[in-house]
Amino acid sequence: EIRGANPSFIPLVLDVVLFDFFKFILISY
């Protein structure tokens, strides 16, 4: 998800990584 017009790509990368990690946990269960 994109929050506003933040020029930094770090928040976007963290969102993608956390989402993938959370999805991986859900799939594991």
Question: In which band, very low, low, confident or very high, does the pLDDT at 20 lie, cut at 50, 70 and 90?
Answer: very high
Q: How far is residue 29's CA from residue 14's CA, in Å, rounded to a whole number?
A: 23
The beta-strand segments (E) located in 1-29 are none
Average pLDDT over residues 6-20: 79
Q: What is the DSSP letter of 4?
A: T
Q: Between 17 and 9, where is the model more confident?
A: 17
Q: What pTM, to 2 d.p., does this model score?
A: 0.44
Q: Which residue has the higher pLDDT, 15 or 6?
A: 15
